[in-house]
Amino acid sequence: MCTVVRTNAISPPGLEWGMTMRVYMDYNATTPVDPAVLEAMLPFLRDQFGNAGSVHTPGQRARAAVETARESVAALIGARPGEIVFTGGGTEADNLAIFGAVAASTRPRMHIITTAIEHHAVLHACENLAEQGVDVTIVPVGRGEGSQGVVDPEEIRRAIRPETVLISVMHANNELGTIQPIEEIGRIAAAAGICFHCDAVQSAGKIPVNVKSMGVDLLSISAHKFCGPKGVGALYVREGTPLVPRSRGGHAEKGRRAGTENVPGIAAFGKAAELAQVKLPEDSVRIRGLRDRLEATLLDRISGSRVNAGSSSRVPNTSNMVFPGAGGEALLIALDLQGIACSTGAACSSGSTEPSHVLLAAGVSLDNARSSLRLSLGRMTTPPEVEFAAATIPAVVERLRAISPRSDVSSVR
């Protein structure tokens, strides 16, 4: 095994043991906290521990930090500060949007529309509403060249009924990285007078996100997807959008989410949003270059390999690749032993023996879905790490193919 030396000054903690450098390629699951974000967070874990709901000086300092962060998060997505509701993460933001929008409707019969590739935070919320009598339409996504993993806006238009109260479509898919035509869907929703929610957890901080040009009424984001801490997110609620809160017990977040604000997390979230806005143009170009180099090398060295949704529009950091003859779970474990951290799909689905619902919806065969690997890069990814992965993955695939009784794919080139 070759040794990788991290050349940048930022090294995610806990990613080294012995003589082997851990190469982290699972940024879509979570990201290392940027050192500047950690510094912004620490004062509110130490001496500035006031409750943002208190009127005394320590409380007002905490309140000021929350409102400063609200401005930064709003600026990242082109919103007004008053339209930002802080939550405990992306899943809570999705749940607040979906359950809150449906609860706000006064129609005797209700219908919602979503897609087959949504995160489980959306799909499971829709399933729960279906159990309560709400009609749910799950729209398919494309399976062909150039449209794989992307929803056709006309499918959304055709699914609309007089009783439709909500449309929920993600911006970027967490497994494939495919970017959905949100602006066009936003225009369709607006013309029909339907509330439109977008899960932007995997796009915010990676590509430009502007709630006004997208035409969304509700939009979810999460700090830990762009070098912020876990356990804090936000829901954009367009001014005037009816929304019933999911929690009761106080007046925090203008009555839209009860409970004491997570001041350290929110302060860090604000800093992460501020950094993301500044770094996005440079990061996206650099990371895309690393991602494309990794894909090209693996495609050249591993026979039969291909990129799922490779010809579709994708966020710059995500690659989902098929390595026929090498089971994804075995490949994941073998690569982890070699020092490479990646995934076979959504982190929230770890432990499931079922193949990815996203890959199957995008037309990937059952066997290929079980032989797929997601490699997601980020701000701290370096060229030596990509070189290490490009050298290691083919060797591991070759070993797994050699011991697989079902493998009929020729060896690595």
- Active site residue ranges: 348
Token match 């309560």: residue? 132
DSSP of 282-328, one letter per residue?
HHHHHHHHHHHHHHHHHHHHSTT-EETTTTS-B-TTEEEEE-TTS-H
Residue type, 158: R
What would the two tokens of residue 19 be?
């003589």
DSSP state of 410: P
Give me the phi and psi of 355, to 5 degrees please: -65, 160
Q: How far apart are CA 105 and CA 312, in angstroms?
A: 36
- Judge contact between 397 and 326, C-beta under 8 A: yes
Count of Cβ atoms closer than 10 Å to residue 288 Cβ: 16
Which residues on neighbouring strands pair with residue 288, listed in sequence order?
none
Long-range contacts of 189-196 (CB under 8 A, 24+ apart): 189/156, 189/215, 189/217, 190/215, 192/160, 192/164, 194/160, 194/164, 194/165, 194/166, 194/167, 195/101, 195/165, 195/166, 195/167, 195/241, 195/242, 196/166, 196/167, 196/168, 196/169
- Judge contact between 382 and 5, C-beta under 8 A: no
- Judge contact between 377 and 293, C-beta under 8 A: no
Q: Which residues of 216-236 are buried (b: 16+ CB within 10 A; e: fewer)?
A: bbbbbbbbbbbbbbebbbbbb
- Judge contact between 74 and 84, C-beta under 8 A: yes
Burial of 153 per CB tally in 10 Å (0-12, 13-18, 19+): buried
Which residues on neighbouring strands pair with residue 372, listed in sequence order?
322
Q: For residue 58, which of 67, 49, 66 has the smallest C-alpha distance?
A: 49
Q: For residue 178, which of 210, 156, 146, 209 has the smallest C-alpha distance?
A: 146
